[in-house]
Structure 1
Amino acid sequence: MTILSTPALEADRQRLIELIKDEAVFHGDFTLASGRKASYYVDMRRLTLDHRAAPAIGRIMQDLIRDCDVVAVGGLTLGADPIANAVMHASAGSEHPLDAFVVRKEPKDHGRGRQVEGADVAGRRVVVVEDTSTTGQSALKAVAALRKEGAEVVAVAVIVDRKTGAQAAVEAEGLQWLAAIDLDDLGLAAQ
């Protein structure tokens, strides 16, 4: 269980947990991006793209990474995009504003041929963000692309940790693992 740095942020987190339970957890037979089968699906895009949740997600994730001393956040498109933007907007008026970046699944085959768009990451400390993670492979694909661009990736931060191996995979790459919410918070069991 993560506890955030202020009572207001913890209240944001508790409201987000209730929204996730009410609107983003679906029960049935699902195949996850990792290829694993699951009896429930946490569809965080329903909330990362929702006006009620996005501001709180930005504040929560900004607080979660507060000790990482980074200049930018982002990750593999599409899941990371609204989170990175929410963090960027939440941090804009703070003493430590953060930029955002997007990591394409593959480099563009036209224009400048970039795989990482947005903030310049070369030689800079960054955090990879994700909505949920099962095996950590999407985050690690973003990490590899960022390292290729010269970024110093220090952590992977997720909204919901499915507790199915992503943390171990990320930590095996020498990165810090941060999660705002886990399955215990949602009353779900790891699968």
Structure 2
Amino acid sequence: MTSPNDSLRSSLAQHVRDLAVIRGEVTLASGRTSDHYVDMRRVTLHHAAAPLVGHVMLDLLEEAGLGPEEVDAVGGLTMGADPVATAILHAAASRGLTVDACVVRKEAKAHGLQRRVEGPDVAGRRVVAVEDTSTTGGSLLTAIEALREAGAEVVGAAVVVDRDTGARERVEEAGVRYLAALGLEDLGLAARG
């Protein structure tokens, strides 16, 4: 059975293949090496692809029971998560729905309000941690920890592209439900441990 999201998801996968997949040996943020790199900023900051990211991710959350009625905000570790969270915020707004976005810093600023989580206050709110792509889940876990420290109830984690190399398992071990819009197989790539 197909869902209404299948066409958007397929279009997003094509944009990722066309814009973001780079062949060649590369060291990932996790320290692992790969024979390809998925540079999601080429998608999440692209005029045609970014709206697709927002709608596909919002649909993914809604299909998992984490839509705007169950979630107050989305956000994750800067920089990969920033355009994803913003795209979801805009997709929700275009449908007359309310989902805030937030940005999680690697560490709190030493000046100003000295906040680690920027944007609307997340204390006491239901938040989904987001990321553009995930290998080991390290960025998501850092964001989840910071969101919890800021008083958020982290109700899920969602990525645009999952590399299928352990992120799901690590995030779920931390007690957080893990969702992915696309896997490497959707991009014609094979996972490599």
| Other structure's SS at 2:91 match | helix
**Equivalences for residues 159-170 of structure 1 within 5 A:** 159-170=160-171
Matches within 5 A, 1:64-83: 64-66=60-62, 67-68=65-66, 69-83=70-84
User: Any residues of structure 2 matched to 1:24-103 within 5 Å, and which?
Assistant: 24-66=20-62, 67-68=65-66, 69-94=70-95, 96-103=97-104
Offset at residue 95 of structure 1 (A): 5.1
CA distance in 1, matches of 2:134, 2:35: 16
Q: Which consecutive aligned stretches of 4+ in structure 1 deviate over 2 angstroms post-superposition?
A: 93-96
Matched residue count? 187
Q: Deviations over 1:19-39 (max 9, x none)?
A: 111221111110000000110
Query: Secondary structure of 1:92's match?
Result: helix
Distance in 2 between the 1:84 and 1:45 partners? 13
TM-score for both structures, normalised by structure 1: 0.95
Q: What whole-Å deviation, never above 9, does each CA across 1:145-189 have from its counterpart, x for those lacking one?
A: 010011000111000010000000000011111000001111111
Amino acid across the alignment from 2:21: V
* Cα distance in structure 1, aligned partners of 2:97 and 2:177: 20
Structure 2 residue 102 is matched with structure 1 residue 111: no
Separation of aligned partners in 1, 2:2 and 2:123: 30
Which 5+ residue runs of structure 2 have no aligned equivalent? none
**CA–CA separation in structure 2 for the residues paired with 1:39 and 1:94:** 39
AA matched with 1:51: H
Residues 168 and 44 (structure 1), Cα distance of their counterparts in 2 relative to 1, 3 Å cut: same
Q: Summarize the Cα distance change of 1:5–1:15 in structure 2 as closer, same or farther, 3 Å threshold.
A: same
The answer to whether the Cα contact below 8 Å between 1:136 and 1:170 also exists between their aligned partners in 2 is: yes
Distance in structure 2 (CA, Å) of the matches to 1:173 and 1:33: 20
**SS across alignment from 1:57:** helix
Q: Is 2:8 aligned against 1:12?
A: yes
Q: Determine the structure 2 residue equivalent to 1:126.
A: 127
Q: Which residue of 1 aligns with 2:191?
A: 190
TM-score w.r.t. structure 2 length? 0.94
Compute the RMSD of aligned alpha carbons. Answer: 1.3
- Identical-pair percentage: 57
